[in-house]
Amino acid sequence: MNSSFVEAAHQADGRYLSDQELRPLEMYLTTFATRMEAYQTLRDNADSLVMQALRRLVPTHRRVVQEHGGKCKRDMAYTLSYVARAVLSDDTNAFRQDFLLWMGNIAHALHKSDSSSEAYGCLKQEIHDTLPPQCAVLVTPYLDELINTFSHQ
C-alpha cells in the first residue's frame, strides 16, 4: 500500500494518526476501484498489449524485433506485471527501488537503452490507445519513468 501511509502508521507508536497522516490512505481509497480496474486490465491483456507494441516497433527496429522479440516480449510482460502491482498498491517508491534501477542498469549494460526506450514508448502508446483513460492515466507515469531512465543512462 502507499508507502507514506504505511510509514506514518509505523511511526504512530501508540497515538492516533492525524488527518494529514490519513490523507494518503483516503486518496488511495478514493482511487482503489480504478487501480483495481487498471491492474485487472493489465493482467488480462498483457500479452496482447506487448504484441501490439512490438508490432509498432517493427517498422523502425525490424532486426531487433526479429532477433530479440522473445526476450523483449518476456521483459515487457514482466514490466507490465511490476507496473500493475505498483498501480494497485500506489507505491512508486517500491517501483523505483525494486525495478526501475535494475531494469535501467540491465539495458545500459547490454547497450540496449535506445531500443528499449523506443520499445517502451510503443508500449506506452498501446496502453494509451487501449486502456480506459482513467486506467491509462495511472499506468503511463510508470512507463514514462522507465523510458526516462533508459534515456539518461
Highest mean pLDDT among 15-29, 45-59, 94-108, 109-123: 45-59
Q: How confident is the model at residue 2 (pLDDT cuts 50, 70, 90)?
A: low
Residue 3 confidence (pLDDT) = 65
More confident residue, 11 or 96: 96
Mean pLDDT within 26-39: 94
pLDDT digits (tens, 9 = 90+) for 60-118: 888 888 888 898 899 999 999 999 999 999 988 888 888 888 888 888 887 877 888 89
- pLDDT over 90 for what percent of the chain? 52
More confident residue, 152 or 101: 101
Q: Is pLDDT at 153 greater than 80 in this prediction? A: no
Residue 115 confidence (pLDDT) = 83
Torsion angles phi and psi, residue 85, rounded to 5:
-65, -40
Write down the architecture of domain 33-151 according to CATH: Orthogonal Bundle (1.10)
Sign of CA dihedral 50, 52, 58, 59: negative
Q: Are 24 and 47 in contact (CB under 8 A)?
A: no
**Mean pLDDT over each residue of the chain, to the nearest integer:** 89
Rounded-to-10 torsion of CA 65, 71, 76, 77: 130
Q: What are the domain boundaries of the chain?
A: 33-151
